[in-house]
Amino acid sequence: MKTLKCTSWFCLCLIGLMSLVSQHGLAQRPVYLDAGHGGIPPDPEADPGTVTVLNPYNEKDINLAVALKVKALLDMANIPYIMSRQTDTGVPVIRRAFQADSANCTTFVSIHHNSSNPGYQ
Ligand SMILES: [Zn+2]
C-alpha cells in the first residue's frame, strides 16, 4: 500500500511538472531540480536541513531520495533537467541559482521536507 501511495504521488508530481513545462512552452529548456541542503562536515557548505525528534532522518537525505525519484520520472518523460546534486554534497544556494540561470532554466523545483519539534511556536 505504501508503494502505491508513493507511485501515485510521483505520478502527480510528474504530471504537474509536465503541465508546468508545457504551459509555458519551455519543453526545450531544462528544469532545475534542487535537492535541498546536503553535505557532510567538515564540508563548509554542509547543511543537514531540518532534523527533529519526530523525524530522526536528516532532511537532506529525504530531499535527495525524492529528487532522484523525480529525476527518474523526468528521464522517462524525456524532459531535460539539471540537478543541484546527485550525492550528499554541499552546494551553496548562490551556486544553485547561478547554475539554473546559466543553463537558461525557467522552472526551478526545490525539494524540502521541513518540520518542527512539538511545542515549538
Ligand atoms: Zn529544507
Q: How far is the CA of 55 from the centre of ligand 1 (A)?
A: 13
Q: Which domain covers residue 94, as residue numbers?
A: 2-111
Residue 121 lies in a domain: no
User: Angle, nearest 10°, between helix axes 59-76 and 2-23?
Assistant: 60
Ligand 1: centre distance to CA 75 (Å): 25
Is 119 inside any structural domain? Answer: no
For residue 93, the domain's CATH number is 3.40.630.40
| 86 found inside a domain | yes
pTM of the predicted model as reported, rounded to 2 decimal places: 0.78
Provide the residue-wise pLDDT of the chain in tens; the chain has 121 residues.
344 444 555 656 666 766 766 665 555 789 999 999 999 999 999 999 987 777 778 999 999 999 999 999 999 988 899 999 999 999 999 999 999 999 999 899 999 988 776 776 6
- Establish if 116 belongs to a structural domain: no
Burial class (CB in 10 A: 0-12, 13-18, 19+), 75: exposed
Q: Calculate how far, in angstroms, residue 51's C-alpha sits from the geometric centre of ligand 1.
A: 10
Q: Tell me whether residue 97 is in a domain.
A: yes
Is residue 118 in a domain? no
User: Count of domains in the chain?
Assistant: 1
48: in domain? yes
Q: Please indicate, yes or no, if residue 106 is contained in any of the structural domains.
A: yes
Secondary structure letter of residue 38 according to DSSP: B
> In 10 A of CB 99, how many CB atoms?
16
The pLDDT score that the predictor gives to residue 46 is: 94
Q: How far is the CA of 112 from the centre of ligand 1 (A)?
A: 4
Task: List Cβ<8 Å contacts ≥24 apart for 37-46.
Answer: 37/63, 37/112, 38/63, 38/64, 38/84, 38/85, 38/88, 38/89, 38/90, 38/91, 39/88, 39/89, 39/90, 39/91, 40/88, 40/90, 43/89, 43/90, 44/90, 45/89, 45/90, 45/91, 45/92, 46/90
CA of 52 to the centre of ligand 1 (A): 12
